[in-house]
Chain A
């Protein structure tokens, strides 16, 4: 495979991110001009690497939960037995999306206490919609000849789901998961307002001490992570879509 410019650029940015997370002090001079009154240029209240990993963990757990629930719901409402639950599930998932995560945090803290838990609840609810809607689209827009053939060759309902419907819907479902991950990567930062260990801590610390360097560090790491994960998942989707013949090979 030939390395093209965008690929090289991504690898460079990724390498830069890793170096920054392991040895942030090497970049102190870059961030120095953003500070005032001799404030520290590099976040000094904890390890950036640890915060990044915790941030990713929170997003991963919340998205995994949302993925399982959203796909299960989509499967349920596309079976004859669950068809009448479609409008209800749609409303529920829509409420999850329209309810502001900050409000979810405020409501969840009295119930489950401070820390990671309220953040997980907020991200879980916020991540449901894209995955559910995409799974629904994927499962209901399969080529009719293929679904007919699946019945015609004698597959049971379960076999059709596992062997035909889910694999063919997978690229669209993955696109939903990708959207959800990217949204949640950014949203997870507000978890730090309720003491969750995320990169939001860096940003909030910067805002409190009026230190632009901190705000920028937290924001940049989240931004770069989002872009990298977005690209990585797009590549996986394309690969699977090519395999399934859903898009013409170029």
Chain B
């Protein structure tokens, strides 16, 4: 659990983060969203003390984050940034091993961990381990950046626009990978982005920041249904709101009894994808199949449209 209590950061007369308090539950993904200059990155960097707050306290699992020297604290917190920040003079394996080496793990354990992480990110350790970062594609570099952040098995992972430099196709793959890794390790992730779409997709909770203030801290559904201010509503984008709302839930939750003709959609797909498929193929209903490929019912345009409407407050 991360408790941020009345955190303020001033640079001279400018207040970059103004009296922000929020609690991040363990094993969840929290996304901090805001435009540039909103203080979102500064807020995140105060958690691992890359930036020292002017006032306020941040507690990690109940312990003040100033109880350790800054560099020791940072070894316990994963950190991944936009443009990956890999060390260009170190191989992929050496990059991933950075934090374990700093922590003084023995060599066998480090080698095993590097191999494990590379395999986890679908990179062959014997091929990619000895390569240098500039020999990799952007998507591969980004994966190594995340692998490095996870190397010492941190409970908390901070990510600063980690997917910002990726093209859309690789980005959505990277997002799926991140979600499955989060599920697997139960890491508490705090991710900073300016992209509300990404926030809604990844976050269990979203913190919206503007001008140093925390405007709203709530679940994606709540933010979509009841934006706290006009600014939040603008970020959500009124035109996209129903579709984003549908994207929060899986098709399996919208299944109705009955049959339908044509190609089926998996239950794990989002309701937004289901509606898109319905509209595009011009069909009134789609059959839904479960993971085993067995038909479990259908989704209809009518049913999905109902679910896309604003929930009663």
Contacts and interface: CB of A to CB of B under 8 A. Distances in A.
A187 B76 CA distance: 54
A30 B113 CA distance: 68
Interface of A: 143, 145-146, 148-156, 159, 163-164, 167-168, 243-246, 248-249
* Interchain residue pairs A-B with the least CB separation, the first 4: A149-B85, A154-B75, A245-B134, A152-B79
A154 B87 contact: no
Given A154-B72, A159-B102, A245-B132, A148 B50 contact: yes
B79 A153 contact: yes
A162 to B, nearest CB: 12
B74 interface: yes
B86 A152 contact: no
Interface string B91-125: 00000001100100000000000000000000000
B81 interface: yes
Contacts, number: 66
A90 B11 CA distance: 29
A110 to B, nearest CB: 48
Contacts of A167: 89
B82 interface: yes
A148 B85 contact: yes
B9 interface: no
Given A145-B81, A145-B83, A151 B88 contact: no
Contact of A154 (B71, B132, B134, B158): B71
Contacts of A145: 81-85
Nearest to B145: A149
Interface residues of B, number: 27
A62 to B, nearest CB: 29
A153 B76 CA distance: 9
Contacts of A146: 85-88
Contacts of A149: 79, 81, 84-87
Contacts of B86: 146, 149
Given A168-B88, A244-B88, A245-B134, A153 B102 contact: yes
Contacts of A164: 87
A148 B99 CA distance: 14
A249 B86 CA distance: 18
A152 B158 CA distance: 10
B138 to A, nearest CB: 13
Interface in B280-294: none
A164 to B, nearest CB: 6
A151 B83 contact: no
Given A152-B81, A154-B71, A245 B50 contact: no
Interface in B155-193: 158
B85 A154 contact: no
B298 interface: no
Contacts of B99: 153-154
